[in-house]
Amino acid sequence: MKSLFTTNSIAACALFGLASGTFTSVFAVETVKATVNGMVCAFCAQGIEKTLLKMPETKAVFVDLKRKVVAVEAKDGQMLDGKKITAEIKDAGYDVVKLETVSLTVEDIKTQMKAKK
Ligand SMILES: [Cu+2]
């Protein structure tokens, strides 16, 4: 098992993920929804998605270019750090104008956005 992981923290996260996967309903969904300025094309959206997916606590990312929305869903039982997410997005060259935590999954937000068309 040990040889599969490069660091202890990643191993701990992976193990926790496996363990919590069997009783997912125990934890409330935590998703950070950000309004981001500066995204102009699909590559911007893709870049932000990739950056945020690199965080060990990220389960899923959704980017809506037209509405300037970036949503990050935490893995079960894990916490998202709004400051860290803001820093990651800023480092990538974009501006976070609003940040809120919602009890929705990324899929829920996707559905909402589609419905609002
Ligand atoms: Cu772009």
52-106: pLDDT as tens digits: 999 999 999 999 999 999 999 999 989 999 999 999 999 999 999 999 999 999 9
Residues around the ion ligand 1 (C-beta < 5 A): 40-41, 43-44
**41 CA from centroid of ligand 1 (Å):** 4
35 inside domain:
yes
Would you call 36 helix, strand, or coil by DSSP? Answer: strand
Burial class (CB in 10 A: 0-12, 13-18, 19+), 9: exposed
**114 CA from centroid of ligand 1 (Å):** 22
* Structural domain boundaries, residue 62: 26-115
13 inside domain:
no
What integer pLDDT is reported at residue 110 of this predicted model?
Answer: 95
Helices (H), the chain: 8-20, 42-53, 82-91, 106-115
State how many domains the chain has: 1
pLDDT band for 45, please (50, 70, 90 cuts): very high
Share the mean pLDDT of the chain: 83
Q: What is the CATH number of the domain that holds 90?
A: 3.30.70.100
- Contact predicate 57/80, CB 8 Å: yes
C-alpha to C-alpha distance for 17 and 2, rounded to whole angstroms: 16
6 inside domain:
no
107 inside domain:
yes
111 inside domain:
yes
The more confidently predicted of residues 35 and 16 is 35
pTM for the predicted model, two decimal places: 0.75
